[in-house]
Amino acid sequence: MELTEEIKRLCQKKKAIILVHNYQPGEIQDIADFVGDSLELSRKAAETKAEIIIFCGVRFMAETAKILSPDRTVLLPDPEANCPLADMITSEGLKSLKAEHPDALVVSYVNTSAEVKAESDYCCTSANGIKVIDSLPTDRKIIFTPDSNLGRYLIEKTGKDLILWDGYCYVHHQRITLEGVRRAKSLHPEAKILVHPECLMEVIESADAVLSTKGMCEYVKREVADEFIIGTELGIIHRLSKENPTKRFYPVSEEAICESMKLTTLEKLERSLREEIHKIELDPQIVAQARSAIERMLAI
Ligand code: CIZ
Ligand code: SF4
């Protein structure tokens, strides 16, 4: 309690805002000024009048906030909070793939470093991937990086033949299985099955709806059903339960936990804010190039 109050006091004193991703631990979500997906949080970062943004999530998200709000100080409470999916592609790797397909457009998932975004024509998120791919000319080849499960899902939904990078998120790819979905469904036969597009195709095919975290929050609010099987990182269940106290949520797997997301603690948040440490610093040239890819997405 004392720590929470100290964080709130520091936020007021330093004109700081706390942005928290849907996968963060419950106690971090509970002290947020805003909880959301990476794009919603970046938009908040772009419009805030606050001087400091404490970004509770993983590095690529804090970088995206910095790209959209370069004049603000953006803090990542634990500098080790990297996304293993984003780390599966480097700008050098992408440059080599582009050299093999020199006329291709490049769409990169938001789960990429600022350097990879800078090498991309468009950015997309799990909430708007179909819209972004649909908007591209049919006579151009398209490279999609780095999540191959999301890539395959986009191929199926848009009918476009994407050149895929071989990346995946270990939480969705390895810990959320068809067997897990079947087990949950046998225990809760009335529940709707919601899964994230970073899951394997067989898991996607078993679902009632394939949604980003933002999509899941909206779906649960508007559906009359009152039980849901959730196939994404467990942190979202804290938010879903809080916003829908009469509804029930069952994870496909209790092991669907992203270790990087759980690195944030109240202690680290307080220290990062008090000492103003673990700032996101990016090369201005990279920021300008990466910003173009994000702005092209936002314009669609
Ligand atoms: O875009 C995000 O925040 C991620 C990585 C997941 C989601 O579906 O919201
Ligand atoms: Fe990356 Fe997966 Fe963790 Fe999201 S849940 S931050 S995609 S490793």
What confidence category does residue 97 fall into, taking pLDDT thresholds of 50, 70 and 90? Answer: very high
Q: What pLDDT was estimated at residue 1?
A: 67
164 and 176 in a single domain? The answer is no
More confident residue, 1 or 107: 107
Q: How far apart are CA 198 and CA 53, in angstroms?
A: 28
Inside any domain, residue 179: yes
User: What is the pTM (predicted TM-score) of this model?
Assistant: 0.97
92 and 143 in a single domain? The answer is yes
Inside any domain, residue 295: no
State pLDDT tens for residues 117-127.
999 999 999 99
**What would the two tokens of residue 213 be?**
């975290």
For residue 138, the CA-to-ligand 2 centroid distance in Å is 31
State pLDDT tens for residues 126-147.
999 999 999 999 999 999 999 9
Q: Whose CA is nearest to atom 8 of ligand 1?
A: 212
Asked whether 37 lines ligand 2 (CB < 6 A), one says: no
Q: What pLDDT was estimated at residue 283?
A: 98
For residue 150, the CA-to-ligand 2 centroid distance in Å is 13
For residue 212, the CA-to-ligand 1 centroid distance in Å is 6
Last residue of a domain, one of 229, 251, 273: 251
What confidence category does residue 262 fall into, taking pLDDT thresholds of 50, 70 and 90? Answer: very high
For residue 93, the CA-to-ligand 2 centroid distance in Å is 20
Inside any domain, residue 296: no
Residue range(s) defining the domain that contains residue 116: 86-168
Find the CATH number of the domain harbouring 35: 3.40.50.10800
Distance separating the N- and C-terminal Cα atoms of the chain: 44
**What would the two tokens of residue 7 be?**
């964080």
CB-CB contact of 111 with 82 (8 Å) = no
CB-CB contact of 239 with 37 (8 Å) = no
DSSP 87: G
CB-count burial class (<10 Å; 0-12, 13-18, 19+) for 6? middle
Inside any domain, residue 116: yes
Q: Which atom of ligand 1 is nearest to the CA of 232?
A: 8
94 and 160 in a single domain? The answer is yes
State pLDDT tens for residues 195-252.
999 999 999 999 999 999 999 999 999 999 999 999 999 999 999 999 999 999 999 9
Residue 99 has pLDDT above 90, yes or no: yes
The total number of structural domains that make up the chain: 3
Q: Beginning with the edge strand found earlier in the chain, give each strand of the sheet holding 34-36 in spatial order.
A: 34-36, 16-21, 52-56, 73-75
Q: How far is CA 105 from CA 41, 122, 232, 258, in A?
A: 26, 8, 29, 31
**Alpha-helix residue ranges (DSSP H) falling in the chain:** 2-14, 26-29, 38-47, 59-68, 91-100, 114-118, 129-134, 148-158, 170-174, 178-187, 201-205, 213-222, 235-243, 266-275, 284-298
Q: What pLDDT was estimated at residue 281?
A: 98
Asked whether 263 lines ligand 2 (CB < 6 A), one says: no
Q: What is the mean pLDDT of the chain?
A: 97
Q: Which atom of ligand 1 is nearest to the CA of 233?
A: 6
Inside any domain, residue 269: yes
